[in-house]
Structure 1
Amino acid sequence: MAAQSFLEQRLDASTWPIAVGDLVVLLAFLLVGTAQHRPTLSPVDVLMTEPLAFVNAAAPFIIGWLIAAPLIGAYSPGGGSAPNSSIPLAIRSWIPAAVIGLAIRATPFIEGGVELAFAAVIIVGGAVVLAVWRFIYFKLR
């Protein structure tokens, strides 16, 4: 039997519903956050009238998630099988993902900057939405 690669050990195909849900809730969280900075626009209005502003805001954190989640094991065998393992893995994955996203935002290539309050909201808010989503997923499953 051949040894599994590092990523094969970290990615379980049966976790795809969780992965899709993670991306959806993170995008929704980031969309609501983007709309909060445009008080005259709803989240739908942001998507319709300022889609590049949303992409600019969301991309660093989605990139961070796509890097950190597989490395930390958010979709590993067992990581998607029960809330007592899945939820902590999501939170442990989000923290470095958010740090990566914040580091990307700190570059001159991305608008927005990195304020301490913003960093706290991103880290805590992202962890909460991922935990709630995964909790609901396992309750409905």
Structure 2
Amino acid sequence: MGTSNGSFLDQRLDADALPLAVGDFLMLAAVLTIGFINHNGVDQIFDDPTGWILTLVPFLLGWGIFGVLIGAYSAGAAETAKASIPLTIRGWIPGAILGLGLRASPLFEGGFAWIFAAVILATGMLALVAWRWLFFKIIG
């Protein structure tokens, strides 16, 4: 009757979704890097790589946790855009909120601003949805 953690994760992680995971994390890293460059200049990536990485971590962590919990890397998500994109949206919203919360905490720099919350929610979602749509257009 009861389920173990292994079966819970087995239902949410499928090897066929690995290309989606790689693309998701690359797209989010790209969006966040573009924002970092727009605010700090490209030289800051090389002058302060730790600051750049710490800009990425809260949101990649948030997406990683909620993407898995929601099932964005499940067998169904790896089959069609129709299944994958809604899972992506449902995972990104709490993932971004967790990222924003981490950014507002003493653990990370950046603080919280409503405009940034709106921008990261929208641009992150757009990047993830566009990537997944393109992925399924290409692979058929």
TM-score normalized by the length of structure 2: 0.91
Match of 1:90 in 2: 88
SS at match of 2:119: helix
- Contact kept in structure 1, 2:37 and 2:45, CA below 8 Å: no
Deviations along 1:108-138, one digit per CA (max 9) or x if unpaired, are 1211001000000011110000000111111
- Contact kept in structure 1, 2:29 and 2:56, CA below 8 Å: yes
Match of 2:67 in 1: 69
Within the alignment, does 1:5 sit opposite 2:3 as a pair?
Answer: no
Aligned-residue offset at 1:16: 0.3
Match of 2:127 in 1: 129
* Structure 1: gaps spanning 5 or more residues: none
Distance in 2 between residues matched to 1:30 and 1:58, nearest whole Å: 6
Structure richer in helix, relative to its length: 2
Match of 1:51 among 24, 49, 52: 49
Match of 1:33 among 28, 32, 35: 35
Match of 1:19 in 2: 21
SS at match of 1:75: coil
Task: Report the residue type matching 1:32 in the other structure.
Answer: I
Distance in 1 between residues matched to 2:106 and 2:115, nearest whole Å: 20
Match of 1:140 in 2: 138
* Structure 2: gaps spanning 5 or more residues: none
Distance in 2 between residues matched to 1:77 and 1:125, nearest whole Å: 26
Deviations along 1:4-24, one digit per CA (max 9) or x if unpaired, are 611111111111001000010
Distance in 2 between residues matched to 1:78 and 1:13, nearest whole Å: 12
Aligned-residue sequence identity (percent) comes to 45
